[in-house]
Structure 1
């Protein structure tokens, strides 16, 4: 038997009692809080399970200065690219525009061609989205 069944029944009753506008407000609030937690986790460079992201590959000494020392995904976690929305039945946090492709490649650890002159290479997995207790 599911330990959360009584809690789930009580919560679904409370949600059903809300007006559609109230449910929408609630889902938008949940989405914003979820986005905020994901942004904090991405800033700390950790996966949903708490393990650190794979470090960046070492660059040649003569490479561009400063650029590689910055943390990964600094712009990706901003509100401009990470949108939080909600409707009557769902809270959604998603990436928008061209950054969706970048996020998908890193979330799933797919192959990518980082620049026009480079070859295709496998990108280490750096999962952005995920929810664990805590």
Structure 2
């Protein structure tokens, strides 16, 4: 199945190269925005691209200033997945989705499971790997559908 999808992706790439740059830019912009929404929704569901849930947060000692309840547990990456941080863009040759600024640094630490100091001056902590950006079969299929819909519309 993966080989078949790879062949179809190569065909779609060849079709895209034949389209003029203005139309290609429009198609790639639509692909980038669709992928951005899909990635944001998956991050909100707290799932890796393979469908597995993110590693749970480490248990914090109970204290007077600690938040209790589900808001703190479920709010992981809440602001990171918003449009100012999770950005999408395109040119006439490529489409991309990624993080910017400080959000990119935070995302990289979680994406790769690195160490980072939670607060300046504190001891670094190793974070569990949580894959924020990654493609799923459904997203790849959606990108191919966008290309084929556009090609089909041009043929008619």
TM-score by length of 1: 0.88
Q: Does residue 108 in structure 1 map to residue 112 in structure 2? A: yes
Question: What are structure 1's unaligned runs of at least 5 residues?
Answer: none
Q: Which residue of 2 aligns with 1:15?
A: 16
1:81 maps onto 2:82 in alignment? no
Q: Return closer, same or farther for 1:64/1:14 CA change in 2, 3 Å cut-off.
A: same
Distance 1:17 1:56 in 2: 48
CA distance in 2, matches of 1:16, 1:98: 35
User: Which has the larger share of helix?
Assistant: 2
- List, as ranges, runs of 4+ consecutive aligned residues in structure 1 with deviation greater than 6 Å: none
CA shift, 1:4, in A, is: 4.8
Distance 1:5 1:64 in 2: 49
**Equivalent residue for 1:93?**
97
Q: TM-score w.r.t. structure 2 length?
A: 0.77
**1:59 — aligned with what?**
60
Question: How many positions carry a matched residue from both structures?
Answer: 133
What is the CA-CA distance between 1:68 and the residue it aligns to? 2.8
How far apart are the structure 2 equivalents of 1:128 and 1:8?
A: 23
CA distance in 2, matches of 1:128, 1:83: 13
Cα distance in 2 between the residues matched to 1:117 and 1:110: 17
Where does structure 2 lack aligned partners over 5 or more consecutive residues? 139-156
Alignment RMSD = 1.9
Alignment of 1:38-53 (within 5 A): 38-53=39-54
